[in-house]
Amino acid sequence: MNIALLMGKSPQLQAVSELLACAGFRYNIFEAGRDLIHSVTQVPYDMLLIGDDLPDIPAIDVVRAVRGARSRDVPIMMLATDASEDRLVDALDAGADDYVCRPLSPRVLMARIAALRRRVTGERLRQGLVVRVGAYQLNGVGRFATLRDERIALTPKAFELAMLLFSNVGRVLPNSRIEQTVWRQELPPLSRALAGLISRLRKTLRLGIENGVTITVVYAHGYRLDVLDEDASPRLPAAGRKITVRRLMGR
C-alpha cells in the first residue's frame, strides 16, 4: 500500500510517518499542497493523508484539486485540528472520505486507515456492477439509473443511497449504515439530511406502487426497499455472467 502524507507545517504528523513505517506501508511525505497535487497526477497512490496546516494553499483546496484530477480514484483522509461541524462538512463536501481530528491514538488511526481501505475497495468492486430491480437498473460505471430504458441522472449522494438500497432489497438498513455509506460518518441526531435525501430519491426515481418499488420507513430502525412484483429480484452481473440474488422480504 502506497500512501501520500501531506504534513505541511505540523510537527505532530511526524509521528504518523513513523507509524506508517512501522506498519510496513510505503509512503511519500509532502510539505506543500501544490507538490502533492502535482505528484498524484503521476503516482498511483492508494491513499492520501492530508493535514490542515499547510504553508501554501488551504487543505480543502488540495482535496478539490485532487478530486478534479483523479475523480473518485483515491481515498482521502483529512488529519485535522479543527473539530467544528462546519469544517467537517466542508471537507466531506469537497471530496474527503474521512475526517479525523488530532490528537489521535496510533491504534485508532490505523483502524481508521484499514476501515477506509476496506470501504473504498468495496466501492470499486461495485463500480462495474449493473443492479436490476423490477423495472429499474442502476449502472455503476456511468452512475445513473434507468426506468424502463428511460435514463435518470442522479447526484453522487443519491446514487450511493440508491445503490445501497437496491443491493439490499427487503433488508432493513439502519440509519447509521446509510449515513456512513453516503456521508462517510453518522449525522447529528437531529439532522434531516437523510430523510430529505430519501424524499428526493423517491421523487427522482418515481418510486411507488405504480412502478413496483417502494421505500418503507421502519420506525426507530431505518429504511427498507421493497419490490411489489414477486418475480422481480435484484440481479448483479459480474465477470461476464449474471448472478441472481434471492430477494428476502425480511421485516
Q: How many domains does the chain have?
A: 2
Q: Which of 100, 122, 105 is nearest to 48 (CA)?
A: 100
Q: Mean pLDDT throughout 124-146?
A: 79
Residue 238's H or E segment, with its range, is: strand 235-238
Contact 102, 12 (CB under 8 A): yes
User: Under DSSP, is residue 63 helix (H, G, I), strand (E, B) or coil?
Assistant: helix
Cross-strand bridge partners of residue 237 = 242
Query: 7 and 85 in one domain?
Result: yes
What was the pLDDT predicted at 246?
A: 35
Question: What is the arrangement of strands in the sheet containing 150-153, beginning at the earlier edge strand?
Answer: 150-153, 144-147, 136-139, 130-133, 235-238, 241-244
pLDDT > 70 fraction of the chain, expressed in percent and rounded: 85
- What CATH number corresponds to the domain at position 171? 1.10.10.10
What was the pLDDT predicted at 120?
A: 65
Query: 219 and 164 in one domain?
Result: yes
Structural domain containing residue 180: 128-244
Contact 95, 66 (CB under 8 A): yes
Query: 238 and 134 in one domain?
Result: yes
Query: 113 and 18 in one domain?
Result: yes
Claim: this prediction has a pTM higher than 0.85: no
